[in-house]
Amino acid sequence: MAFFDKITAAAKSAKESANTAIEVGKLNMKIKNENDSIEQFKGQIGDLLWAQYQEGEVTDPRIIALCESIAAANANIEELQQQIEVLKAPSAPVEEEEEPVEEEPQPVLERHCTQCGAVVSEESKFCSNCGAQL
């Protein structure tokens, strides 16, 4: 009999702990919902303060500093969106950087003396090396 009692007690406690887990889970879910509500209300407070800041009604420097951070972030978003616009516009006249036409370095046609092969200037009539007539 004692053995059987033990079994039922164990089964009962197992069932109880399962129920307990479910109950705790339900309560945790409720706590989570309340926390979500708090976050929502905080967000609404933030929206109100942001609107007041834009109206110039905020005097608390801590709130002003935070609102300035929001303003800076908004400016960044605007700039990033402009970058997206630029990327998205396929036929946008993207100012192609005109490749500077690199002038082929004119091969210096060196004039050589037909006799000795020395380099001679274009206009000289005689080789400065061997004196041959060019």
Rule CB under 5 A: which residues touch Zn ion? 113, 115-116, 118, 127, 129-130, 132
Nearer to Zn ion, 103 or 123 (CB): 123
Nearer to Zn ion, 25 or 131 (CB): 131
> Taking the complex as a whole, how short is the minimal distance between the CB of residue 102 and Zn ion, in angstroms?
36
The position carrying tokens 């990327």 is 87
Nearer to Zn ion, 13 or 129 (CB): 129
Cα within 13 Å of Cα(16), Cβ side: 6
Burial bucket for residue 58 (CB in 10 Å: 0-12, 13-18, 19+): middle
Rg (CA), the chain: 44
Q: From CA 100, how far away is CA 97, in angstroms rounded?
A: 9
58 Cβ contact partners less than 8 Å away, ≥ 6 residues apart: 49, 52, 64, 67
Nearer to Zn ion, 63 or 118 (CB): 118
